[in-house]
Amino acid sequence: MVEVKAIDLEKKFGDFQAVYKSSLSVREGEILTLLGPSGSGKSTILRMIAGLIFPTAGKIFFDDRDVTFIPSQQRNTALVFQNYALFPHMSVAKNVEYGLVIRKVPKEERKKRVKEALKLVKMEQFMDRMPNKLSGGQQQRVALARALVVNPDVLLLDEPLSNLDAKLRVETRQEIRELVKSLNLTAIFVTHDQSEALAISDKIAVMEIGFIRQIGTPSEIWEYPETAFVGSFIGDANMIEMTVQNVKNNEYVLLSLATETESPPLKSTYFRGIEKVGNIARVVIRPDKVRITTQSADATNYITGIVKSVQFFGRYNLVLVELTEKHDITVYDSSMLALKKGETVYLNISPQDVKAFGPSNY
């Protein structure tokens, strides 16, 4: 296995720039996920690392070997696609064997390695079956076996679970993680699904419009977002705009929001890029970090609002609260208060859970 390094990668397609200066590293045995919405550049970076396309600028290294402009067939990578790309006229065994045939591996060695690869993904009993006789999850496992059979230095996975139903996605992502770890593979995984990225990754690179906005462990990305986009994109989150009323050195900022029922300033001890009074801050607040009450005497560090709707979700009520005509906020109320539409409520949020970002960190 190898360590992958990408340094200042850029990619243009004509006048369109798909990726701006982007750098990342993936150690041997590590899973890095490129996470972002459609069109953010994550698959473009993956394809540059695979050698399917070449960068406009920047370098790619496998250990100390510069592979920037080396063709894909000389990189010893394996790519698992979103649509599995199985040959419909070939059996499971023949599909898995195909890469070894291309590499001119001797027949007996091919048979042995195909059997081992299918055993790894628990598909050895389906060796003679045709792809159209398999479920989506089974086809995905065959595609993974086909990638593993060539003993790749780097395993690349481009939205491999997106065609599976929700329950099967959860099961399969855990199987992929366990398999990658057991083989000590270097892996790069592309997805737009935040929960998938959090569950499978050692590190996550969050992308937006061609830029890598932040790289960190799942817990770092979750707890310490560097931009409003990262904070709002990962998991469930509210994002509202508030005005900076006071900045106290590096200790805290006070934020105001004109609501129908006036609130005192909301205090934040987690802020990035806020430099002066009057800045418009984008404030990220997770629904499960809000305590909702109907008594102002119980409220500390709070904003007020009007209940718009209450939905029962088993372990909590999902409460939609109107702050202003332009701003609503979602609250997960585990205390299951008996709230009514139109009722005034007080939303308590700890200062460290009020994550505020100035213009340079939007």
Domain extent listing, the chain: 4-232, 236-361
Give the model's confidence band at 21: pLDDT under 50 very low, under 70 low, under 90 confident, else very high.
very high
Give the model's confidence band at 166: pLDDT under 50 very low, under 70 low, under 90 confident, else very high.
confident
Per-residue pLDDT tens over the stretch 114-159: 999 999 999 999 999 999 999 988 998 999 999 999 999 999 999 9
Cα separation of the two ends of the chain: 37
Per-residue pLDDT tens over the stretch 93-118: 999 999 999 999 999 999 999 999 99
- Mean pLDDT, range 325-341, rounded to an integer: 94
Phi-psi sector, 123: left (phi>0), alpha (psi -120 to 50), beta: alpha
For residues 247 and 291, is the Cβ–Cβ distance under 8 A?
Answer: no
Q: Residue 171's pLDDT is what?
A: 86
Q: Which residues, at least 6 apart from 357, have a Cβ–Cβ distance to it below 8 Å?
A: 227, 228, 231, 271, 272, 273, 274, 281, 282, 283, 284
Q: Residue 260's pLDDT is what?
A: 55
Q: How far is CA 82 from CA 3, 18, 45, 345, in A?
A: 24, 20, 16, 45
- The CATH architecture one would assign to domain 236-361 is Beta Barrel (2.40)
Q: What percent of the chain has pLDDT over 90?
A: 84
User: pTM, whole model, 2 decimals?
Assistant: 0.91
CB count in 10 Å sphere of residue 66 = 11
Quick check: 305 pLDDT over 80? Answer: yes
Better-predicted residue by pLDDT, 272 or 136: 272
- Mean pLDDT, range 269-274, rounded to an integer: 96
Q: Residue 261's pLDDT is what?
A: 59
Which 3 state secondary structure label does DSSP give 40? Answer: coil
Give the model's confidence band at 81: pLDDT under 50 very low, under 70 low, under 90 confident, else very high.
confident
Q: Residue 38's pLDDT is what?
A: 93
Per-residue pLDDT tens over the stretch 169-213: 888 899 899 999 999 999 999 999 999 999 999 999 999 999 999
Quick check: 350 pLDDT over 90? Answer: yes
Average confidence score pLDDT of the chain: 94
Per-residue pLDDT tens over the stretch 212-262: 999 999 999 999 999 999 999 998 999 999 999 999 988 999 999 876 556
Give the model's confidence band at 313: pLDDT under 50 very low, under 70 low, under 90 confident, else very high.
very high
Pick the CATH number of 4-232 from 3.90.420.10, 3.40.190.10, 3.40.50.300, 3.40.50.12780: 3.40.50.300
Q: Residue 299's pLDDT is what?
A: 83
Concatenated DSSP letters for 238-287?
Answer: EEEEEEEEEEETTTEEEEE---SS--PPEEESEEES--STTPEEEEEE-G
Q: Residue 82's pLDDT is what?
A: 84
Which 3 state secondary structure label does DSSP give 158? Answer: strand
For residues 185 and 152, is the Cβ–Cβ distance under 8 A?
Answer: yes
Q: Residue 162's pLDDT is what?
A: 85
Give the model's confidence band at 23: pLDDT under 50 very low, under 70 low, under 90 confident, else very high.
very high
Per-residue pLDDT tens over the stretch 24-58: 999 999 999 999 999 999 999 999 999 999 999 99
